[in-house]
Amino acid sequence: MYTVILKKNEEKKILGGYPWVFANEVYKVEGKGEQGSVAEIRSNDGRFVGKGMINHHSKILVRVLTLKDEEINRDFYYSRIKAANDYRLELGYSDNYRVVFGESDYLPGLIVDKYGKYLSVQFLSLGMEVIKDEICDILEEILKPSGIYERSDVSVREKEGLEERKGFLRGVFETEVEIVENGLKLLVDLKNGQKTGYFLDQKENRDDLKFYVKNKSVLDCFCNEGGFSLCALKYGAKEVTAVDISQKAIDLVKKNAELNGFKVNTETADVFELLRKYRKEKKKFGVVVLDPPAFTKSVNTVKAGYQGYKDINISGLKLVEKGGYLITCSCSQHLTLNLFLQMIRESVIESGVKAKLVELRTQGKDHASTIGYDEGLYLKVAVIKVVE
């Protein structure tokens, strides 16, 4: 087994809940082992700190599994996955939810999402890749899915020395599956949809539309499969326009609207361009929803991403009628909560409207984030009321 000895005082943040040990925080590595295996972590003066998965190919040298001196075996992983799933069940989740949220469930690099009878999974670290078959066995034992699909087609795997990968892990099945979310039927594409197939983290935020959309016209930007659009129609919106640059997404929105007996207007368009067009036409909506992809995915692109968020929020605010609402989101961990609020403030000032902050929300309860691990708290959602 490898023993990773930290530089002086580097153990403090780990003991405070931070799950990563970066290579530049390490004094030396002793012993021998396999890449992806479990290593022991010790402070500079030799005190036991914890155990984690080691990978010399990554800047994150060790991903912490436990702060206890315990054996890491199948029983360990079984108990962690069961505890993660039990937490969701006790909150009332059933048909679709995040079963395992990586570091925040003390299973670094593992994402497991449940979509009806099926699981969609991501193995984002070498340590989890090494035990993939064992993890799938445990998932089958605990959740008894009809099949498991892998969506490890993400660039972060390259930083772990791994290739991107997707495909069937257990069983072969139709990857367009039907789920029930907020009482609505939804078709989700596990093979080609966003992330593991769908943005489960917005479930409660979509349902929150019930307070704002009745008898209003709604513009749903970056609509994906149409979760916000369908909730708006469910809760009495008089008209909904769903916009996405992806024709596949728009096709799914139409299918999902039909599944629920709704009629929705759709636009396959670049949202930035369409909002500018609507502004020229002096169109107004009672509610505008902005749920864009992450405009900044690293610390090096925060400035450009910040401007992108601001531009789209200024346009969105100008399209909201007096008394209406802007519901704006950011899923970028690098746009911190303080930056998000600063961006909203500047957008309000530059748009020339008067506004109130009605709600500030975050990701769903099945995406709970560990205290001490700020990277796990990534989703910000603000409800802004445009006033007279």
- The string of pLDDT tens digits covering residues 61-76 is 999 999 999 999 999 9
How open is the CA angle 60-124-224, to the nearest 5 degrees? Answer: 125
Mark which of 50, 66, 82 sits at the end of a domain. 66
Task: State how far the Cα of 158 lies from the Cα of 335, in Å rounded to an integer.
Answer: 23
Mark which of 66, 92, 117 sits at the end of a domain. 66
Domain containing 35 equals 3-66
Task: State how far the Cα of 160 lies from the Cα of 158, in Å rounded to an integer.
Answer: 5
At 146, the pLDDT band (50, 70, 90 cuts) reads: very high
**Residue 206 sits in the same domain as residue 328:** yes
**Residue 239 sits in the same domain as residue 137:** no
**Residue 110 sits in the same domain as residue 217:** no
**Residue 98 sits in the same domain as residue 29:** no
Task: State how far the Cα of 384 lies from the Cα of 305, in Å rounded to an integer.
Answer: 21
Higher pLDDT, 296 or 167: 167
Report the number of distinct structural domains present in the chain. Answer: 3
CATH of the domain at 19: 2.30.130.10
- Residue-wise pLDDT tens digits, 88-121: 999 999 999 999 999 999 999 999 999 999 999 9
**Residue 168 sits in the same domain as residue 193:** no
Does residue 57 sit in helix, strand or coil?
Answer: coil
**Residue 151 sits in the same domain as residue 119:** yes
pTM, 2 dp? 0.94
**Residue 169 sits in the same domain as residue 194:** no
CATH of the domain at 340: 3.40.50.150
Task: State how far the Cα of 371 lies from the Cα of 135, in Å rounded to an integer.
Answer: 25
Residue 277 has pLDDT above 80, yes or no: yes
- Residue-wise pLDDT tens digits, 204-258: 999 999 999 999 999 999 999 999 999 999 999 999 999 999 999 999 999 999 9
**Residue 27 sits in the same domain as residue 96:** no
The mean pLDDT value for 255-264 works out to: 97
**Residue 115 sits in the same domain as residue 186:** no
User: Of 172, 168, 161, which Cα lies nearest the Cα of 126?
Assistant: 161
**Residue 253 sits in the same domain as residue 358:** yes
Residue 226 backbone class (left: φ over 0; alpha: ψ -120 to 50; beta: rest) = left
**Residue 286 sits in the same domain as residue 362:** yes
**Residue 210 sits in the same domain as residue 331:** yes
Mark which of 173, 188, 220 sits at the end of a domain. 173
Contacts of 163 (CB under 8 A, 6+ apart): 157
